[in-house]
A and B are shown apart, each in its own frame.
Chain A
Amino acid sequence: MRYLPKSQSDRDAMLGDIGVKSVDDLFAAIPAEYRLTRDLSIPRSYAESEIVQFFRDRAAENGQGYVTFLGAGAYSHYRPVVIDSLISRGEFFTAYTPYQPEIAQGTLQAIFEFQSMICELTGMDVANASMYDGSTGAAEGLMMAVRVTGRHKSVIAATVHPEYREVVTTYARHQGMPLSTVGYLKNGRVDLEALDKAVDNETAGVLIQSPNFFGVIEDIAAVADLVHKKGALLVVSIAEAVSLGIVKPPAEADIVSLEAQSFGVPLGFGGPYCGVMATREKFIRQIPGRLAGETVDRDGKRGFVLTLSTREQHIRREKATSNICTNQALVALMCNIFMTIYGKQGLKELAQQNLAKAHYAAEQFKKSGASLVFEGAPIFNEFVIRTKTYPRAINDRLLEQKIIGGFPLKRFYPELENASVWCCTETTTKASIDAAAKEVAR
């Protein structure tokens, strides 16, 4: 086996040193009746060339070279080559959690920079080193609101990604966290009146998403005002991180749960992605996950360590803020490098292109006879259209032109007949928008 660095004579010498005759003697602790006396029934060992061919074949079955108008929580942005070049350094990807800071300053400094940039972009005071993803981050955001307020109930906008809501439901069910959902208005924003009724003095947290699942930007200040008047916390989910380049950050929120996949992370059939949680300074001891902090060594030299770990499971066990241990560190590094590459000017320009493409597409689709389902509130790079025919039929025709159409909403919103949410990014060409517009009209 090519990954094993021992010859048979090495093994024999080691067994001799240990004082056993065969390696099976080392497994004597396992009762004989449970030991496997046959080979595992899995395929034979493959050569590297065969493994590569196998996965090339799978990739081909998956379809290649498609243009996509899918967003809905996973966004197709260009990934600068530098990202993979840097994260492929063994020093980064074959290291573990930086528990020994003297030999992990690279990882620690990168996390510190990541936390700093997330704070800049979200308008929060502190950010953690990462969460699994946006959906679990949203659930942990509401759990954090419960800890901070000492209350139990939570309210979720129906405009939050439906799969995020499903995950929150799974997490909340057995933690004594009753959930309720509030609907949306004709402009696609959360219904503030309904929200006002749903939030009471037992509400710990309110979860909204902006831009929301329909692509509509919520009025964060108005929601925050309402939520804070009732003494609850506002948790804002952001699924499309590139929006932060041009959309005002949710600075009025108490907790921001960001899915940073848009920052240079491959679509990868849904993961690994990069959740991250940010909050206000005063809630710092209730945030889940790892945190890197600045300190000095014995000679006063600047260095970084994992800190405030008394919040975490390896110290606090059942009283920890979360059971999270492994996070998404290498993916956070991708995001970090992406944010560094685009920086202060680039993120803005990038977001502007997304905005322009989405508005162009919405216009073209409208001209072709589709209608915009939600009007009157700003959107970023996604929008919902209603077509005359079933969206799947349109998508089937588009697929023949190697175009993947928008996401049909009926599965999650039965009331939205013939509606689908479309996404345009900087990678969406005018030509593909025009081609899609033609089919949307039919």
Chain B
Amino acid sequence: MNSKIKKAETHLSQNEGLIFEKSSPGKKAYKLPPLDVPEVDAKQLLGDAIREDLGHMPEVSEIEIIRHFTRISTWNYAVDHGMYPLGSCTMKYNARVNEYVSRLSGLADAHPYQPTRISQGALRIMKMLSDQLIEITGMDCITLQPAAGAHGELTGILLVRAYLESQGNPRKKILVPDSAHGTNPATAAMSGYAVENIRSNAAGMVDIAALEAQVNEDVAALMLTNPNTLGVFEQEIHKIADVLHAKGALLYMDGANMNALVGKVRPGDFGADVMHLNLHKTFSTPHGGGGPGSGPVACKKILEPFLPTPVIITKPDGTLGLDYDRPQSIGRVRMFYGNFGMFVRALAYIMANGPEGLRLTTEDAVLNANYIRKHLQGLYELPFDTPTMHEVVFSDKIQTKKGIKTGDIAKRLIDYGFHPYTVSFPLVVPGALMIEPTESESKEELDLFIDAMKQIATEAESTPEVVTQAPHRTRISRLDETAAARKPVLRWKPGK
């Protein structure tokens, strides 16, 4: 059953227990310098507040730590291994120079409260990144403070709220399409708004007539991802903005899919009032196993008075400073200035690309998605025939006839040496396969992926059990997620 698998071969991987299982008293991986001040009596200084024992913290040596983390790292699949087509996550190449420059002394060891006169380099980086993101989005101003996309959404909706409040009425509702990421409705709720869903039309886009009927003076904003989660560009985007603006509501754009637009079209030009960017998606900062991200929020001039504090300013002498005196600000959304290390990486990415590189990147991302669509169309059902941008969404409708679900196809794809696509999302497509190749894939890698998907489609017909039982070639087989949730074991305890 494995003879047709071209991309991957199994190889030995090391077994490794939990770090606690390697611990024994007296082993060490640290050495502190001799104390150059007098010893103190901690018991006397701290009294009742003293801690005598650190429980079951591990005691291991340095080589054991290196082997431990190296061994378990080999159990991961990563962008460095190959295509990682998780839709809406934009798993692109993470350039090594970005990692290098973010660790330079002077940047990595800068304290956030050090005087601004010795922080000019850091502020310059933030200013340059801000200016370039403003140009890329076609907006007027920006805050870099939010720590991730969902945090940016919260910031953006709070800006909308503050603006509407200043107009006399914060309003009650946020509209969210049924195809939206779960963070959108969760954000609206955290901002004190009720959530109202709007339905997609047969083309997978916002239905303008339905939208017109739904927008009234209670609506604060529409949160719209564009291209949306079907990978479809909202062609009537400006009409959408007009409908909202006519009733005094704003258009929030979720920038999760900005990788389809950079250098080709700017949200600020098509009517978006406020949006977040995911530096960890579009601007190549590494996903790190789930974070850190960074979610700058760019907006139009009308929202500027409400930006979180502090805001970077240029002083009369040309140096940069931080302005805290902004009475209309929504306040802080995070301590200090945001995930600065990600700003360094994102700026390095933009510098490496330049205007042509960024445009070519977008074109390649869209080209790759369309290439996959072309070669898999027919084998997998395409629920929306609308043109594809940077990601393509199929469904498992053809395969379900043999009892095979999108999750099974995903697991079989692992055997073929690929990370699966996003499974069962967006929710508007039952059994969705959401594939986002990004620009980082060569034609060879795409052809291997297409070949794997074709083989799986064939297997689904001929040997469906191979697919439903997959993966077969991994260290572990499918894990019992139900048991994990029913009797949660969330920490190691001794004596197990």
Contacts and interface: CB of A to CB of B under 8 A. Distances in A.
A45 B102 CA distance: 19
Given A269-B340, A271-B338, A303 B479 contact: yes
Contacts, number: 671
Contact of A378 (B46, B75, B182, B489): B46
B378 interface: no
B316 interface: no
Given A52-B97, A60-B121, A86-B70, A42 B374 contact: no
A389 interface: no
A330 to B, nearest CB: 3
B103 interface: yes
Interface in A59-105: 59-64, 66, 68, 70, 72-74, 76, 80, 82, 84-86, 88-105
A355 interface: yes
B3 interface: no
B479 A347 contact: no
Contacts of A80: 29-30
Contacts of A304: 479
B375 interface: yes
Contacts of B492: 112-113, 116
A13 to B, nearest CB: 7
Most buried by B among A41, A92, A169, A404: A92
Given A89-B73, A104-B77, A328-B291, 19 more contacts: A34-B270, A43-B351, A62-B110, A86-B65, A97-B287, A100-B77, A112-B491, A113-B18, A166-B309, A175-B192, A247-B51, A269-B337, A270-B335, A271-B339, A298-B480, A310-B485, A341-B65, A342-B29, A426-B32
Interface residues of B, number: 199
Contact of B483 (A64, A266, A295): A295
Interface string B357-399: 1111101101110110011000000000011010000000000
Contacts of A35: 264-265
A251 to B, nearest CB: 10
A117 B350 contact: no
A343 B28 contact: yes
A186 to B, nearest CB: 18
A76 B277 CA distance: 30
Contacts of B62: 82, 341
A66 B118 contact: yes
B363 A23 contact: yes
A372 interface: no
Given A31-B238, A163-B336, A86 B69 contact: yes
Contacts of B38: 356, 360
A397 B96 CA distance: 39
Nearest to B31: A346
Contacts of B190: 171, 174-175, 322-323
A368 interface: no
Nearest to B29: A341
A330 B265 contact: no
B477 A299 contact: yes
Most buried by A among B101, B120, B124, B344: B101
B244 interface: no
B290 A107 contact: yes
9 contacts: A15-B367, A36-B265, A52-B97, A55-B107, A102-B479, A113-B18, A121-B55, A345-B54, A404-B115
A227 interface: no
Interface stretch (B150-158, B206-214, B296-304, B459-467): B150-158
B456 interface: no
Given A51-B352, A324-B148, A343-B28, A246 B42 contact: yes
B183 A325 contact: yes
Interface stretch (A151-159, A192-200, A201-209, A331-339): A331-339
